[in-house]
Structure 1
Amino acid sequence: MRIRGLAAPGGVLALAAAVVATVALVDPNERGNYPTCPFLALTGYQCPGCGALRTLHALAHGHVGEALALNVFVVSMLPVLAFFWARWTVARARGRPARTRAGDPRLIWGLFAAVMGFWLMRNLPWGAFLAA
């Protein structure tokens, strides 16, 4: 195992843990603790990330159902992020270069379509259940 190679993944993990700890301690449900989403403030529509801080706060306190109601897309992307972080960490631990290419472009376009679809649906009347 190569310990020096783990500095970057370890740093990202420490930063993520610090962000989650901060959001867990400083409630985003209280006005004035965090700024308003600029897209929401300018347009009145929710972006794909609207509710992400409240979602992380709910997850940090073990309220999975509440987190899913706030932003199901953020909750569904957390395992994906964890997978890619783990793959990066294993590659670094084995002394192999981390992939710099995304691989199949259909995956990137699929993720882009999912983000855009979620963004559109949560702002339409029949998708209002996605906008908490």
Structure 2
Amino acid sequence: MTAHAEHTGRRGKGRLRSMLAPFGAAALTGAVFTYVGLVDPNQTGHYPTCPFLLVTGLYCPGCGTLRTIHALAHGDMVAALGLNPLAVATVPFLLFWWGRWALRTWQGRPVRTTLAHPAYIWAFLALVIVYWIVRNLPFGRFLAP
């Protein structure tokens, strides 16, 4: 075996090994979607109640997300949007970040340690807080699960 072929073989194994993290994240996400798709959160007793909802009687930004995942797993986009539109809206961004991570890892390029520019992260945090407040107000009941 030539030195070039041996180096290329090691690089291929290293590339596949480096893809374990992105593939592991995808497998875990797929397992969660499969489990929640099979075990209906609309039926009582399968999942615990949201602690914030239990204590305050108010919806948190994540309330309805399990049922949203269940609806998405069954291809019911309308129901998913009705349960937690913010969770549905984040899916394309999560897919983009996962794809960027997987591509950069496959190419052997350094993976960025931040998901996005800090201004975008702060804007998203502000959006979550506004969503949290509005979904608990009378005029924002359409955002409640």
Coarse TM-score class (shorter-chain normalised): over 0.9
Asked whether 1:34 is paired with 2:41, we answer no
Q: What is the match of residue 7 of structure 1? A: 20
Give secondary structure in 2 for the equivalent of 1:90. Answer: helix
Q: Which runs of 5+ in 2 are unaligned?
A: 1-11
Amino acid at match of 2:80: A
Cα deviation code 1:43-95 (max 9, x no counterpart) = 00000000000000011111100000000000000111010000000010001
Deviates more, 1:42-51 or 1:95-104: 95-104
Which residue matches 2:71? Answer: 58
Alignment of 1:42-121 (within 5 A): 42-121=55-134
TM-score, L = length of structure 1:
0.97
Calculate the TM-score normalised by the size of structure 2: 0.88
Give the match's secondary structure for 1:79.
Answer: helix
Superposed, 1:20-31 pairs within 5 Å as 20-31=33-44
* CA 131–6 in structure 1, closer or farther in 2 if over 3 Å, else same: same
The structure with the larger Rg is 2
Report the aligned-residue RMSD: 1.0
Indicate the percent of aligned positions where both proteins have the same amino acid. 52
Counterpart amino acid of residue 126 in structure 1: F
Higher relative contact order (CA 8 A, sep 6+): 1
Q: Is 1:129 aligned to residue 138 of structure 2?
A: no
Which SS does the other structure have where 1:76 is aligned?
helix
Per-residue deviation, 1:101: 2.7
Counterparts of 2:29 and 2:69 in 1: how far apart (Å)?
11
SS for the counterpart of 2:20 is helix
| Counterpart-to-counterpart distance in 2, 1:71 and 1:126 | 16
> Within 2, Cα distance between the matches of 1:103 and 1:27?
34
Number of matched pairs: 132
4+ residue stretches of structure 1 with deviation over 4 A?
A: none
Q: CA offset at residue 108 of structure 1?
A: 1.1
Q: Distance in 1 between matches of 2:93 and 2:82?
A: 19
SS at match of 1:83: helix
Q: How much has 1:4 moved relative to structure 2?
A: 1.2
